[in-house]
Amino acid sequence: MTDPADLVWDRACDPDTPAPLPGDAALAAVLLCHGMAMNGGLLHAVEGLEPGQRAAAVAGFRLLGLEVAADAVEDVARQAAVLREDDLDAAERLEVEAGRRYDAALPEWDATIEQAFRAHLAAHPEAYAPVGDAP
């Protein structure tokens, strides 16, 4: 039998699956941001996400109790918004600082998010849509 938490996680990874409940939406937004950060760094993620997606990720990190990650996303986005395009040194410094902060916020990366998600799911199962039996 498949662990229901794994099914919720897998559902959140599917961009074509609606996330009508707050926990599902939070997890999906966090995983989108986190996936982009793991591919190209936090600066890449905040620059690549639409403003609504970024706001949803920040709210999602907060809902899962990952305040430091939420603060890092907000701060890096705010700093990136005022970077001059021709100031490559400042962009490099921000990229390094963003990576440092994100690593500090999520020391075990995926495992940190998964642990926070599982704790939230256990405490607030009503925040997540029910999962059916695995086929």
Contact 46, 76 (CB under 8 A): yes
Predicted confidence at residue 1, as pLDDT, reads 58
C-alpha–C-alpha distance, residues 135 and 113, integer Å? 26
| Closest to 57 (Cα-Cα) out of 23, 26, 19, 101 | 26
76-96 residue pLDDT tens: 999 999 999 899 999 999 999
The domains of the chain are located at 4-126
Task: Say what percent of the chain tops pLDDT 70.
Answer: 97
Q: Which token pair is 93?
A: 């410094």
C-alpha–C-alpha distance, residues 87 and 99, integer Å? 19
* Average pLDDT of span 102-126: 97
Contact 54, 73 (CB under 8 A): yes
